[in-house]
A = this chain, B = another copy of it.
Amino acid sequence: MGLLINDPCLMIGPIKGLVYIIFLSMLMYTAIGAKVRHLKWEVAYMHWSPDGAEGVVMGINGQFPGPTIRARAGDILHIELTNHLHTEGVVIHWHGIRQIGTPWADGTASISQCAINPGETFVYRFKVDKAGTYFYHGHYGMQRSAGLYGSLIVDVAEGEREPFHYDGEFDLLLSDLWHKDSHAQEVDLSATPMRWIGEPQTLLINGRGQFNCSLAAQFSNSSASQCMLRGNEQYAPQILHVLPNKTYRLRIASTTALASLNLAIGKHKMVVVEADGNYVEPFSVENMDIYSGESYSVLFTTDQNPSNNYWISISVRGRQPRTPQGLTILNYIPTSPSTLPNSPPPISPQWDDYSYSKSFSNKIFALTGSPKPPTTHHRRIMLLNTQNYIDGATKWAINNVSLVLPPTPYLGSIKYGLKNGFDRNTPPDHFNHSYDVLKPAQNQNSTYGNGVYMLNFNTTIDVILQNANALATNVSEIHPWHLHGHDFWVLAYGEGKFTEKDEEKFNLKNPPLRNTAVIFPFGWTALRFVADNPGAWAFHCHIEPHLHMGMGVVFAEGIRRIRTIPVEAIGCGLTGKMLMKNNVHK
């Protein structure tokens, strides 16, 4: 059959228990409780073949994807990040970590910090306060598309237990790859007229995919040939080795630049138990949707014929797919891992079957006992998502403002009251109530802006994300919105234009807590969060080209409560000038 050779290094599932026992024994001899975990990272470009076609990726310590961080709830991560790029700044965002008390460590260029200059080192030091499945990625220009990402797994604190049982676990970080480098993509997207980047060439699982061949060629009528792999290629799949009749946890996170995905394990059901670092009421599915910026844990039981192997597949949803399925193999020990499954890979739901997608999203409820949302809100911000033109270039705008980040980080500009740090006009909380979200806008022109939504500290904020028709008739896209510094409750998804009457549909009983939520085409999504984390926080579409084209806003709250911001974080732009003023040595 295939030529997938077992690499024992990848056999992490079954031996996890033993490793944990050793690990726990070691901990007992060191310290009880939380630890400071020191990491030294160097970011540099390097040649790499994520899908067999060599290109350049942004690696960390010579690895792509970057190293997986494994910590326990309550630990402090102390990451010394050195920029070894030649002319580019860099930052890393710790996606899903709320950065309570450390807003300068959120890793968002122009918002929480200055980009780290080439040759410089910046220390990210923050607490991972909550167990869950997270990841990290670049948050400057399109450096996520360049491959700057990795997994961040937070186990429950010592002595605590997860509310579900499993015998082993695997980590699947999902991404999409373009052969055109991210700099050229930036130029294309910023051009007048805009040049769209198109669909990705390859879907990657843990940074690995196949472009010139297919693992499942014999099941398809495409022209791709069967992959002939030794297993040590950079683009060889990471095979998941399992024992029969066990339960495994799959930690799945999507850091795609664009693609919405559907994941399935051939012939295995999955039970969803975690979303974005929060426990959810378990529910069973045949396959699951995952949007960029989301993470999930699912449990599956190896209850199938152990003399076969099975496909794990990811497929594009929400956009007409031009990218082959991403695949890897679930290998039942002792079946040879190079035995290909005896049936085709899972067939994903039709790409534009949004009812299917909504059905999945609507199955997600907080686990009983999870924090409940406040029953009322202090402020409701309606955010209309539109595609627009500015001077002939295509942009995305929120309430007709397309975000262009300023050179001075908001955190410092607000803290020190620098008037010229950003637009002092507060962006609008509402859009014209006569706006027809089902049709292309009558006036398709928009403007640039970088104002801030200033939130009163400790108030409850409702955000209604309102989707609309894009520039072309009968087109409305999926946008997964990600909030920094907070989790929010997803109160409801709805169709068409939100009205006050839709409040009746809000789920205040057991809405899921998340950091990312999707808006469906021509629909709306209602979120609620408490503005209780002093800082300046990005809230944006997690599709990187959309953010690059302006699809985001900035929230800020409680900045007066921040005592001192490390000068390393804000020593650029106007804050840098201010801090240097009157301090010129002669």
In the assembled complex, 24 residue pairs joining A and B whose CB atoms fall closer than 8 Å, in A order, are A46-B191, A47-B187, A47-B191, A86-B142, A86-B183, A86-B186, A86-B548, A87-B89, A87-B143, A114-B117, A117-B573, A119-B405, A119-B406, A120-B573, A181-B183, A183-B183, A564-B584, A567-B580, A568-B577, A571-B572, A571-B580, A579-B584, A580-B583, A583-B583
**A394-429 CB contact bits vs B (8 Å, 1 = yes)?**
000000000001110000000010000000000000
Q: Are A86 and B579 in contact (CB under 8 A)?
A: no
**Does A56 count as interface, using CB distance less than 8 angstroms?**
yes
Looking at the assembled complex, report how far the CB atom of A544 sits from the nearest CB atom of chain B, in whole angstroms: 12
CB-CB nearest in chain B for A183: B183
Could you tell me the distance in whole angstroms from the C-beta of A508 to the nearest C-beta in chain B?
40
Partner of A567, one of B117, B568, B584: B584
Size class of the contact patch on chain A: 35 or more
A87 to B87, CA, bound (A): 8
Contacts of A161 in B (CB 8 A): none
Contacts of A549-586 to chain B: CB distance below 8 A: 563-564, 567-568, 571-573, 576-586
**Shortest beta-carbon distance from A104 to chain B in Å:** 13
Digit string of A80-113 for contact with B (CB within 8 Å is 1, else 0)?
0000001111100000000000000000001000
B586 in contact with A564 (CB, 8 Å): yes
**A45 on the interface (CB 8 Å rule)?**
yes
Q: How close is A54's CB to chain B, nearest CB, in angstroms?
A: 11
Q: Which B residues are in CB contact (< 8 Å) with A183? A: 45, 56, 86, 181, 183
Complex: how many Å from CA A407 to CA B584?
Answer: 20
Residue ranges of A at the interface with B (Cβ–Cβ < 8 Å): 45-47, 56, 86-90, 110, 114-115, 117-120, 140-143, 181, 183-184, 186-188, 190-191, 405-407, 416, 548, 563-564, 567-568, 571-573, 576-586
Main secondary structure of the interface of A (DSSP, over half): loop
* A581 and B583 form a contact (CB under 8 A): yes
Which residues from B are CB-within-8-Å of A89? 87-89, 117-118
Q: Is the CB of B584 within 8 A of A576?
A: no
Residues A140 and B571 in contact, CB atoms below 8 Å apart: no
Task: Please give, as numbers and ranges, the residues of chain B lying within 8 Å of A416 by CB-CB distance.
Answer: 585
Kindly list chain B residues whose C-beta atoms are within 8 Å of the C-beta of A140: 87
Which chain B residues lie closer than 8 Å to A579 at the CB level?
579-580, 583-585
B residues within 8 A CB of A119?
Answer: 110, 405-407, 573
Q: How far is the CB of A500 from chain B (nearest CB, A)?
A: 40
Name the B residues within 8 Å of A186 (CB-CB): 45, 86
- Whether A572 contacts B187 by the Cβ 8 Å rule is no
Closest 6 CB pairs of A and B: A119-B407, A87-B141, A579-B580, A86-B141, A87-B88, A583-B583
CB–CB B407/A118 < 8 A = yes
Of all chain B residues, the one with the shortest Cβ separation from A83 is B407
- Which residue among A110, A119, A140, A573 has the maximum number of chain B CB atoms within 10 Å of its CB? A119
In Å, the complex CA distance between A56 and B141 comes to: 17
Residue numbers in B under 8 Å from A583 (CB-CB): 579-583
- The answer to whether B584 and A120 have CB atoms under 8 Å apart is no
